[in-house]
Amino acid sequence: MSRSFLAAVVQQAIGGNDKAENMAATAEHVREAANSGAQLVVLQELHATQYFCQVEDTECFDLAEDLDGETYEYFAELAAELDIVLVISGFECRAPGLYHNTAQVIDGDLGRVGFFRKMHIPDDPGFYEKFYFTPGDADAPGCGFEPVETRLGKLGVMVCWDQWYPEGARLMAMAGADVLIYPTAIGWDPDDDEDEQERQRDAWVTIQRSHAIANGLPVLVANRTGFEASPVDDGTGIEFWGTSFIAGPQGEFLALANCEEQGPLCAQIDLKRSEDVRRIWPYFRDRRIDAYKGLTKRWLD
């Protein structure tokens, strides 16, 4: 297992629901990253289509695939060709009426070595995900907050709304994750004023950098960019705020994209640095595990 490698997150605008066209455009970004030496490439959330969760529409379930569907087959072939570790994201049909928002980890010609079904499912205006996605099974093998073993180390993959929860990041770290990874699709309501938009984006960046600091681990975040109109006439649409980044184990930016740019964002990941940081900031040593019983409750009345 390598202790140092070049990683990339891909930030991309999605123009429509033509999967073949979208996958081909994504593949060009992946090739660019691999040609730059990236051994790990992370794609954004639901990258094969536009973000369909702006509305509740049963016809959108037709976009779902099983784990071995066309999106997986396409990117498994690409990962094998480029000999990289690739994290993809998609809309999974597990069974009739049972759907997940699922990230898969592909390790070169080994194919899929693990997957993660999104655990926290939002339900907000423009983000009606509870209509589409069932939360992942907490205790199922290969699911829950369980890192995926790859040639580059253990990847703690979670998805979008999971990124706001320190519990998930901590459990991944406690299970031995070497990096935390968040494929994401998040943006602004265009009706919000500029100050509110900036507060939201800053909060999103800050919470994920805090996961890096609290756990002494690098964090990789791939968010989409561009405006996607609402499918309904009275919808405002979403302006995805990009800002994909890679942070080191003290929360320091190793790479940071702006709101609009597209393509791979690369940074060197040094896993030995995580060990060095944990020696001077020994949070795991000083955790008061005897005093945290209340964390398993919804609220302390």
Active site residues: 45, 118, 160
Nearest to 94, CA basis, from 56, 66, 53, 122 = 66
> What distance in Å separates the CA atoms of residue 71 and residue 67, rounded to the nearest whole number?
9
- Cβ neighbors of 32 (< 8 A, separation 6 or more) are 263, 264
Distances (CA, A) of 86 to 45, 148, 152, 291: 13, 12, 11, 39
- On the 0-12 / 13-18 / 19+ scale of CB atoms within 10 A, 45 is buried
**Hey, what are 152's tokens?**
């580059």
- On the 0-12 / 13-18 / 19+ scale of CB atoms within 10 A, 149 is middle
